[in-house]
Each structure stands twice: as structure tokens, then as C-alpha cells.
Amino acid sequence: MLMIPGPTPVPERVLQAMAKHPIGHRSADFSAIFGEVTENLKWLHQTKNDLLILAASGTGAMEAGIINFLSPNDKVLVCTNGKFGERWGEVSEAYGLNTQYVKADWGQPLDPNAIKAALDAGPDIKAVIVTHSETSTGVINDLQTISSYVKAHGALMMADTVTSLGACSVPVDEWNLDVVASGSQKGYMIPPGLGFISVSEKAWEAYKTAKLPKFYLDLGPYRKNTAKNTTPFTPAINLIFAMQSALQMMRNEGLENIFTRHDRLKRATRAAIKAMGMPLYASDDCASPAITAVMPEGLDAEQIRSVMKKKYDIILAGGQDALKGKIFRIGHLGFVSDREVLTAIAALEATVIELGGKTTPGSGVAAAAAVFTQK
């Protein structure tokens, strides 16, 4: 049972769709599927912008976003409050961009006013890069407010929405997000291997003069081919089958229901952890809908993960970098229901008790159940 922030559980029906023999990608049959998938991804992104599909993980989609619309030495503002924000700084530096930072401590959200101040001080900033849901800490940033400041400034708004898309509303058009990147193994209910990127008209304007080198990730050919329901290179055909099936499930569930389900899973998980007497790493007002980070004071987070895996076959994520051993992270993203959260919390209670932690048996399950049975 995978309770990590990617890869996430894959529905049986999606696995079946993937198990088909590949078909030729230069065929009418494939184009029909590809067109349907692209349309449904736009629905999920709430956008009329181009939506391009890459054979890449989320990092590949973000790299494409960074390199297609900028030139060497362009000034970019990278906003970091965790591991993934730091990664986009590394990509920017690797490509020789003039990389400026606005930082917040791990576990804290980005301060939109600090970003506004940096924008006011930097009229020549070309792009602002923000990780919406910072998976390393379980913090969600106020992308909507940040994006409004970026729009007023005129820079391009580039967002990593890898663990927010499919978990909470990311209205790409309404929030004026120019470049939005995500990956298939998170909120999309399929295995790793596809990257998604949406591109606004304003970003395409910048593309015309952008000079960073690119070839496989040059989004121009993807745009041209996507308009004809095809791809510039061989697509990950079976993952497209999977995506078709998963998107049909999402359309059946409906956007609002998907978002309220994730919100409920988040609230139940947090209520359970609090009731068990364990501190949460992120506070309530900036808690990611995809993942909950827990600091089990007095217990080794890695030991908890180890017992959860060995005894209950439930996989939790650990902490990264300085947080290793200090936190564990419970993913509740994608194909996850109340049942998985109740099961994980029950196993966690038993694990904590086995390791000599102080918690009242049943307290976590009762708190989660109370959220799930709220009228």
C-alpha cells in the first residue's frame, strides 16, 4: 500500500488499459486517443492554453518550462521553501540564468509580500518560479496571490504543480499561470513517465526570442504536433492509454468531488495525527492537500517507516536532507480514499505503541472517523 507522494496507487482499470499491446503512434486510432487525453488534461488544468505531453518525469517538464522561454543571463526569481524549490534553482543555474532567490524556511510557506518586494526591486526579472505544493515539507504556497503580483510586474509565472494538480483547484487561466508543469505519478493516478506542461500566449511570445539551447524539450514542435493530435517523437504510448482511462475516471468523479475528497483526506489525516499527540510539520493554514508531514518527537521517523513497511506493508515517505529521521510523510494523493487513510492511521497507532511512543490506542482512528462521518 503506497502512501507516498509519488508514485501513487494506480486503479485496476488503468493498469488494464496499460497492459494492451502498443499501437502505431502515427495512426488515426492513436490520434483519437491523444486528442481526447489532451482535451481532458485541459479540463483538469482549467485552461484554454496549450497543454503539452512529454515523455519525462515532472523534473523534465519543469526543465522544459525553464529553458523554452528564457535566454542566457536572464534574471529569474526562484522562490524556495523546500527541496523542490531548491531544485528549480539548480536547473536555472545549470543553464546560466541570473538566478535570484526568495527563501522561506522549510516547513513555512513562501511570503507573497517578500516576492512582491523582490519584484519591485527587479524590474528586469523575466520569470518567477514557484513550487505550489512543496512535497518535501507538506506546505502549500499561496500561488494565486504570488501570481497576481507577477502579473502586475509583467514577468512570466512558472509553477511546479506536481503535487497540487489533481489534488486541489489549480485554475491556470483564472490565476494567470504562464507555465505550469506536473508529472503523471502524482495526482494523475498513473505510473511515472509523463510530464505535462501548459503554456500561455504570453509565454509563447517570450519563446520567439528565447535563446537557451534546447532540442528534445523544445516545446515549439510539441505545440505544432499537438494541434494535429500527434507528437514530434515517439510518445509513451501505453502511458497515454493509462492517462485516457484515468482521465475518464476523473471526469466521472468531477473536479469539485476530486478536490473535496483530497481536502477531506488531508483533514482526517491531520486530525488523527493531532489526536495521537504527534506534532505536524506544517501548520493548518498552509497544509498541502497531497501530503502530511509528521514530526514524531521522541521516536525515530525511519524506525516508524520500517515497522509500517515490514509489519503492515504500508509505505510512507521519509524526510529529505536535514529532515531525514526527523519527519515521515503520509501521501494522500491521487487514487486514495477514506479507507486507505483509516487503515494507515490504525497501523500507525500500533506502530507507535510498539516502539514505545505515548499515544492513546484508538485516538487517531476515532479522530479520522469523525472527519469522515461529519454531516
Ligand X SMILES: *Cc1c(COP(=O)(O)O)cnc(C)c1O
Task: Give yes or no for residue 162 binding ligand X (CB under 6 A).
Answer: yes
Of 159-167, 227-235, 259-267, 273-281, which part binds ligand X (CB under 6 A)?
159-167
Pairing label, strands 194-199, 179-183: antiparallel
Q: Find out whether 291 and 133 touch, Cβ atoms under 8 Å.
A: yes
Of 114-122, 157-165, 236-244, 355-363, which part binds ligand X (CB under 6 A)?
157-165
* 70 versus 159: smaller Cβ distance to ligand X: 159
* 163 versus 292: smaller Cβ distance to ligand X: 163
CB of residue 188 vs ligand X: minimum separation in angstroms?
A: 11
Length of the chain: 375
Instruction: Give residue 261's Cα distance to chain centre.
Output: 16
Task: Give yes or no for residue 320 binding ligand X (CB under 6 A).
Answer: no
**Of positions 2, 3, 4, 5, contacts ligand X by CB under 6 A:** 5
CB of residue 59 vs ligand X: minimum separation in angstroms?
A: 3
Please, which residues bridge with residue 77 across strands?
Answer: 100, 128
* d(C-alpha 200, C-alpha 288), whole Å: 26
* d(C-alpha 66, C-alpha 130), whole Å: 12
* 25 versus 186: smaller Cβ distance to ligand X: 186
Helix, strand, coil abundance in the chain, percent, nearest 5 = 45, 15, 40
Q: Tell me, what amino acid is at 296? A: P
Q: Find out whether 165 and 44 touch, Cβ atoms under 8 Å.
A: yes
* Nearest Cα to Cα of residue 145 among 79, 199, 66: 79
DSSP state of 21: P
Task: Give yes or no for residue 135 binding ligand X (CB under 6 A).
Answer: yes
Task: Give yes or no for residue 57 binding ligand X (CB under 6 A).
Answer: yes
**Of positions 2, 3, 4, 6, contacts ligand X by CB under 6 A:** 6
CB of residue 159 vs ligand X: minimum separation in angstroms?
A: 10
* Chain positions contacting ligand X, by CB under 6 A: 5-6, 57-59, 84, 131, 133, 135, 160, 162-163, 183, 186
